[in-house]
Structure 1
Amino acid sequence: MARVLAVANQKGGVAKTTTVASLGAALVARGRSVLIVDLDPQACLTFSLGHDPDKLASSVHDVLIGEADVDDVLVDTADGMTLLPATIDLAGAEALLLMRPGREHALRRALTAVAERFDYIFIDCPPSLGVLTLNGLTAADAVMVPLQCETLAHRGVGQLLRTVEEVQSITNPSLRMLGVLPTLYDARTTHSRDVLADVSDRYGMPVLAPPIPRTVRFAEASASGATVLAGRKNKGAAAYRELAGNLLAHWEDGAEPVTLSAAEIYS
């Protein structure tokens, strides 16, 4: 069965979508089969990987409400990943799911049909803590929290952690917190390091290495319909490749996740 990772933070603009796409592409380059799930009604992941949400006949919305099988919705990407795409229709799925028993388990039930075909499944959760994010957390083995290293970026982290604890208590006892992933990171500034150290101290969460640097290549990659790994060599792609290697060592070899200590944050 595939290992399932939810990438979640209710704050937008923290590189959740970039992390899911880039990490997935990096694992495909290492010979793993990867399914990525766009659980955001804005469909940014779907669009950034070359699929126009307005032209898709069906999406994860239809899967969640039971009107389509996962196999009939999956599409391929230029980077070799398989995508369960989203459309704006997904915005209405929350209201429909709220009226159904076991609503938090809809995604997990759907993914069961294809989980044996993939080594890894990554879920791009929406920037909210509604039913869709609860579905992502309930379906996952672990959760990663991308964190923008800027002022006020940590607002809401505590609420997210409480939501994770509730999911662990009610719908997914095996869910574990993998850690915080620093994104849009500028090691030259004391401010970035202070934000990162504050989150680590305040919430006691592991800080995953390496931090993902700020680079214009991410925006350029999204516009091209492929991930940043498909273009020229750049520091963003190198960071995600290193992160992929660290996570594979953790998931497949049993190594501890590579994290940053307070001393390393300020080194």
Structure 2
Amino acid sequence: MMYTAMKFRQLATVVATTLLLITSANAQVVTPSTLTVNDNKVQAKLSLTSLIEVDLTVEFENSLGLNSNAIDITAELINPTDTGITDRLPSLLTSAVSGFPVLVSIAPKPDAGFAFEGVAQVEIYTKAIHYTPSVPWRLFTSHNNGEFEDITTLTSSGSYRARGSTGQFSDFIILLDTRAPSAIISDKFLLVSETLNGNRGLISAPLEAVLDSGISDLNAALASNDYDAALTIVDGLIVVLGNASGSEIADVWRSSNDLVNAKGMLISRLQTLRYSLRII
């Protein structure tokens, strides 16, 4: 969705004001004021200022050793011009959100014995900003201080809610993403392909053949801008991977960070690609 010149001027004014507030205040890192763990779900509330609070929900398909002492959760106000953030952005057309310059970190303790299978759902909710369908705020993640990638699977009102999925953990942030929708789709497809190619040794030959065929068909559909066909193919790949067992594809991530959750990574990247195909 393209912005008008007026919207850009308004955005620039708000960004400048936010930068002034952040640079004039001491950065702070906060831990949850409340934290609950129920079965495969973690819920935390983090308060950074009287105006900026975060409700975080993380839900697992199946977890082991999940308890309040297994995971460190923090949130901090960031300076959007800090190179520790800007150097990790995927594009000059992405930036921190004015009014909600917050980085949430989820760090399972290496010696806690925590592990999960498949995909983890991550949701961030805040009243600090308000959902507007035409404003492309998206949920991004970064692993081990790497480049942020869009993992959005849902955005909605009340006041702003963003959901995504992941096969691993580190930092999460809401970013303004003004890239062209077609460019976002291309980038997400590339990540899916790279994930498959980088983890072939963790996938059985029969499943690998099915995935290769699906990725080939998806590439052809995207090349011809047939987004309806691409969406159908992505849905099918998600079902195939969802039904695959641990003997067919590596599907466990654990806090010692010594296993690659290929299933979770592939599904999460396909799910966010599906989101982008649905809204284009």
- In the superposition, the TM-score normalised over structure 1's length comes to 0.24
The structure richer in helix per residue is: 1
Task: Say which one has the larger Rg.
Answer: 2
Higher relative contact order at CA 8 Å, sep ≥6: structure 1 or structure 2? 1
- In the superposition, the TM-score normalised over structure 2's length comes to 0.23
